[in-house]
Amino acid sequence: MMETDDRTFAPEAGHPDIQHKLLSAFRQGRLPHAFLFHGPEGCGKDAFAIALAQLLNAADADGRIDASSSQYEKIAHLQHPDVKLVFPTPAKTNFKEAEFMEVLREKARNPYRRTAFPNKNTFIGIDTIRELKAEARFTLYEGRRKVFIISEAEQMRVEAANALLKLLEEPPGNLVLILVTANIYQILPTIKSRCQLLRFTPLPEAQMHDILRRYHPKVDPGELSLLVRLSGYNLKRAFDFLDKNVLQIREQAIDLLRKVVLIHRSQELMAILEPVAARQNREDAQLLLWLLLLWFQDILHLKQLEDASAKLYNPDKKDTLRKFMGFTPNADITGIVWDIEGALQDLRDVRNFNPLLILMTLAIKLHQKLKKNKK
């Protein structure tokens, strides 16, 4: 049996208060048929949903999970016939089955990572929900409960959400539906009203370190602490960062800001932006803007708090931040934050075919707001 206390069923999944609530309901046989897990991206909601599926299919009546059982192992590897994980994918004509299986295997290996199909528009379509509805009618293959997990549920097309609504209204008695979202306001009210809502908060920094080291044991502890801050305490983004030279890209972002202030050096500005925008994968361009966003959020903290060190995303750059503030004393920082967030949204939309135009437009806006004259 897995080592637990009487309040949790999967300590490594975190969120002990939510675990305690669910475990109490499980022991009383009063778990609802549908949940909506909501909260910021990267706080372990998908991993938690998988742990709940293991509770339902691999635990005794007191909620002690048998981690050595085949039920537990199959769910952990996302290979259990009664447990389905659904996530946004490109249109079937735009990706291969092998590509999907590789994403699924990676999610099984590390449920805290994002499911990604780079540079492809992804969604959850009505055909996917129809397949779930058909599967829901089948008898159990080998488990105790069917569990359908719909990750990034806000990505359901309207017709898919309406189809899911019918399943929520008349669910089979052996089915538990778990919807997961970081954008609850994009979920239809009629779906929210039929689910038990559970709000997740970011994991404590120490637990984030433990999870990251579990999958990357050789990473330097000092670097890990900085990456967690630069991720905005988002586990998905932190795992993304472990595959990139984030600190080097941060230096590019700082260099870009220096050149934006003196924008007449347009050739130097283009030398930074063109290689980033030219890459087929937009992740580096998005990362550059994300790091710029954190830079200006740190400046807001320094302006508003006497001792903002504990809140800084770039604590190792505190002196550089103060020098930058001194060089741009009248900068419209709030407006800059809004501009960067808008550019990030534009970059994430694959229908925008010209990333360089987005970046150059942002550079011009930043120049105007950084050099703003005091009135």
Per-residue pLDDT of 335-363, as tens digits, reads 999 999 999 988 887 777 788 888 888 88
Residue 373 has pLDDT above 60, yes or no: no
Q: Calculate mean pLDDT across residues 121-141.
A: 92
Specify the residue for token string 């599967």.
135
41 in a structural domain: yes
Task: Give the CA dihedral 350, 354, 357, 360, nearest 10 degrees.
Answer: 70
Q: Which long-range contacts (CB under 8 A, 24 or more apart) does 128-131 make?
A: 128/86, 128/89, 128/160, 129/156, 129/160, 129/163, 129/164, 129/167, 130/163
Largest CA distance in the chain: 72
Residue 176 has pLDDT above 80, yes or no: yes
Please state the domain count of the chain: 2
Task: Give the CA dihedral 264, 267, 272, 275, nearest 10 degrees.
Answer: 150
185 in a structural domain: yes
Residue 297 has pLDDT above 60, yes or no: yes
Helices (H), the chain: 16-27, 45-58, 70-76, 97-109, 126-137, 158-169, 189-192, 205-215, 221-230, 235-242, 246-261, 266-278, 283-304, 318-327, 333-348, 355-370
Q: Residue 35: phi, psi to the nearest 5? A: -125, 155
pLDDT for the residue 77:
96
Cα R_g (the chain), whole angstroms: 23
pLDDT for the residue 83:
95
Last residue of a domain, one of 201, 235, 265: 201
User: Which residues neighbour 256 within 8 Å (Cβ) at sequence distance 6 or greater?
Assistant: 269, 272, 273, 288, 292, 363
Q: pLDDT tens, 52-64?
A: 999 999 999 999 9
214 in a structural domain: no
Tell me which of 103-112, 245-254, 279-288 is least confident: 279-288
Residue 255 has pLDDT above 90, yes or no: no
Structural domain containing residue 308? 244-370
Query: Mean pLDDT highest for which of 3-12, 259-268, 304-313, 342-351?
Result: 342-351
236 in a structural domain: no
Identify whether residues 174 and 284 lie together within a single domain: no
Identify whether residues 182 and 91 lie together within a single domain: yes
Banded model confidence at residue 306, pLDDT cuts 50, 70, 90: low
pLDDT for the residue 117:
85
Q: pLDDT tens, 73-120?
A: 999 999 999 999 999 999 887 778 888 899 999 999 999 999 988 778
pTM: 0.89
SS3 211: helix
pLDDT for the residue 3:
52
Identify whether residues 193 and 132 lie together within a single domain: yes
pLDDT for the residue 58:
93
Banded model confidence at residue 369, pLDDT cuts 50, 70, 90: confident
Identify whether residues 188 and 264 lie together within a single domain: no
Q: pLDDT tens, 325-335?
A: 888 888 899 99
Residue 222 has pLDDT above 90, yes or no: no
DSSP annotation of 59 reads B
Q: Calculate mean pLDDT across residues 126-139.
A: 92
Alpha-carbon span 49 to 12, nearest angstrom? 13
pLDDT for the residue 310:
67
Please state at what angle helix 246-261 crosses helix 318-327, rounded to 10 degrees: 10
pLDDT for the residue 282:
76
**179 bridge partner residues:** 36, 150
218 in a structural domain: no
Q: Residue 211: phi, psi to the nearest 5? A: -65, -45
How high does pLDDT run on average in the chain? 89
Last residue of a domain, one of 167, 201, 235: 201
